Amino acid sequence: MTKWSPEQISKLQITGIDAWAGLASKSLECIARLVDLNLQTMKTTLEDGQECARKALSTKDPQELVELQAELFQPTAEAMLAYRRRVQDIVADAQANVEKVLEVQYAAGKREVQGFMETALSNAPTTSMTPFVAWQEALNATTALFDSMQATAKQAMQMAGSSLDSAAEATSKGVRRRPAPAQHTAE
């Protein structure tokens, strides 16, 4: 049976460490972007809330307060949708980075295993070929299944993202179409 050399094992370990470090770095970048977005959103929300409170306290009658509430609803809803889109962009970017690293790792691992199998097959006695051939077939079937599952998962994520975008757009259009409150005049 063919054994892996210490150099091959070391190379595999270094590749794993590099992949882990890359994922950790990208994760920290994503977290930093989310923290920045949340801090900016909190700052804006506090400023808007302060302005809203000032306006509410300066109203003279309940009808004016209702009109103020309706006036402030649309910008708030649009800000919430914009925030959701930015979070979705950050998460999608992080997911794409993770997928790239995993795909590279998967391809490298697949090449290593296939190389190992080819070496084992070429060095095996002819009488013991049946188990190696069966193992190779099982490996090929598993690889095909994994590739199919990965493609299906990508399609599902794309469909989910499209559905979320459609729902957000429909909500945004609904908010924009909302009629302004009727103005009452004092007679």
Domain hosting residue 147, numbered range: 17-122+130-177
The answer as to whether 40 is a domain residue is yes
The answer as to whether 183 is a domain residue is no
The answer as to whether 182 is a domain residue is no
pTM over 0.75: no
CA distance 53 to 65: 11
The answer as to whether 75 is a domain residue is yes
Provide the domain count of the chain: 1
CB 74 within 8 A of CB 178: yes
Amino acid, res. 129: M
CA distance 151 to 147: 6
The answer as to whether 187 is a domain residue is no
Q: What is the pLDDT along the chain (187 residues), one digit of tens a residue?
A: 456 678 877 887 888 888 888 888 888 999 999 999 999 999 999 998 898 889 888 888 888 888 888 888 878 888 888 999 999 899 888 888 888 887 887 787 778 777 777 777 777 677 766 776 777 787 778 778 777 877 787 777 777 767 766 766 666 666 555 555 455 444 4
